[in-house]
Amino acid sequence: MATIAVAATVAVPIIGYRRKYLLSEDPLLRPNVLAHFCDGDTIRDIGIKYRTQVPAENKRQKLVDILLTNNTGDKVEPSNYKRVSELLEKKIQSEFKEGKIIVEDGWVLSETEARQCALFSFSEK
């Protein structure tokens, strides 16, 4: 019972913190796991560094296209948040299994999560 109380005590501030700094519910702009631990400025900084390291992906539309495309080349409609979230989660899990990771500022991210940070970095503060 104490474990549940501790989990609730920790989870409530994290949820509030996340909503305070990441106002968008758009899954393209929200690296889900990272959003539980980082504020918007940290995610933006990670994204800017990724865009610097991968100049071929330093355009908003390029990142959107990559994030919305599945492994067979089909694109998900960006307005369908549920399908976008499912696609991104599958990509993230697959990339971790395949070792397609990036370490940025001590955070171990899948390529998809780094791209989400990069896309977020185009947004205004």
User: Which pLDDT tens digit goes with each residue over 3-22?
Assistant: 444 444 444 444 444 444 44
Instruction: Provide the token pair at 43.
Output: 């995610």
- Residue 25 forms part of a structural domain: yes
Alpha helices in 69-110, H assignment, sequence order: 81-98
Q: Give pLDDT, residue 125.
A: 65
Residue 125 lies in a domain: no
pLDDT band, very low/low/confident/very high, at 123 (cuts 50, 70, 90): confident
Q: pTM here? A: 0.80
pLDDT tens track for 64-121: 999 999 989 999 999 999 999 999 999 999 999 999 999 998 899 999 999 999 999 9
Position with higher pLDDT, 12 vs 28:
28
d(CA 67, CA 73): 11
> What is the extent of the structural domain holding 57?
2-120
pLDDT category at 24 given cuts 50, 70, 90 is low
Question: Cβ atoms within 10 A of the Cβ of 47, count?
Answer: 24
Q: How many domains does the chain have?
A: 1
